[in-house]
Amino acid sequence: MSVWETSSRPKVSTIFTIMTILPSLIYRTGIPQDDCNQCGKCSSGCPAARVLDLKPRQVVLMVQRGMIDELVRSSAIWECTQCHQCMERCPRGVTPFDVIIQLQNMAVKAGLPHPESLDQIFASIARTGAVQGPQEVFDSDFEGYRRSDLGLPELTGPRDMVAFRRAVEETSRW
């Protein structure tokens, strides 16, 4: 019985368990957020922090304090540009980016609000192998071009779409 079915609020302890399932994927050094001394270097370089509300330092602080519920329900965790600056420069080996991604993954798994485009992208990939198929593009005279008009070859996606789909669905449930 999954915790997601019994209540709409994921239990904090369960969430911490989930956070250790894929350690080498998510954490480069175990549970690095313990090493964070809140210096703020991550927020200082974060491009999203300058235009929106996301502050990687604050995310790590809230994780340190066990405020996972608030985080997975926040819109701020979706504001990450994935530029990797925070984890590149952190002097303590903390990877705020990985923490943010893990929170995003948890929110999706728990069925909490998240950008619609994610579901659309997943559906498209599962169906065709790609985010979108070849589009018609236009020049400044509004003349349209397709790949063939530009001498570009037609390329095929996964050969066995059934197998592809199955593997994609399976790994999406890890």
Partner 1 sequence: MTGLRAVAVIGGGIAGIQASLDLAERGFQVYLVERSPSIGGTMALLDKTFPTLDCAICILAPKMIEALRHPKIRLLTYSEATGLSGEAGDFKLRIRRRPRYVDEGRCTGCGTCASKCPTKVPDEYQMGMSQRKAIHVPFPQAVPLVYTIDDKSCIHLTRGGCGLCEKVCEAKAINFDQKAEEMEVNVLGIVVATGLTPWDPTPLKEYGYHRFRDVVTAMELERMITATGPTEGKLLRPSGLGHPKRIAFIQCIGSRDLSKGLPYCSAVCCMHATKEAILVKEHEPGAEVTIFYTDLRAFGKGFRDFANRARDEYGISYVRAKPAEIRENKNRSLSFWYENTQTGEIAEANADLLVLCTALTPNPDNAALAKTLGLELDDNGFFRHPHSVLLPTSTTREGVYVCGYAQGPKDIPDSIAEASGASALLAVVGRGRP
Partner 2 sequence: MVGLRYAFFLGCWIHSELYPLEMATREVLPRFGVELVDVPGFSCCGYPLRSMNVASMLYLSSRNIALAEAEGLDLFPLCNGCHASISEVKHILDNDPEIRGRINDELSIEGLRYRGTARIRHILQVLSEDVGAEKISASVDRRMRGFRVAPHYGCHAIRPSFVGRPEDAEDPKVLDGLVRAIGATVEYYPERLDCCGSSLGVADIEAALRVAGRKLQAISVNGFDAATTVCPFCYKMLDGRQDVAKKVVGDMGISVPVFYFMQLLGLAMGIEPRRLGLHLNQSPVDKAIAKMEAVVS
Binding stretches for partner 2 (CB under 8 A) = 22, 24-26, 28, 47-48, 50-52, 75, 78-85, 87-88, 101-102, 104-105, 108-109, 114-115, 117-118, 121-122, 125, 129-135, 137-140, 145, 147, 150-153, 155-160, 163-164, 166-168, 170-174
Pick what 73 binds: partner 1, partner 2, none; C-beta below 5 to 8 Å, kind-dependent.
Answer: none
Residue 20 vs 38, nearer CB to partner 1: 38
Which residues, at least 6 apart from 19, have a Cβ–Cβ distance to it below 8 Å? 26, 31, 102, 106
Residue 65 vs 173, nearer CB to partner 2: 173
Q: How far is the CB of 68 from partner 2 (least distance, A)?
A: 17
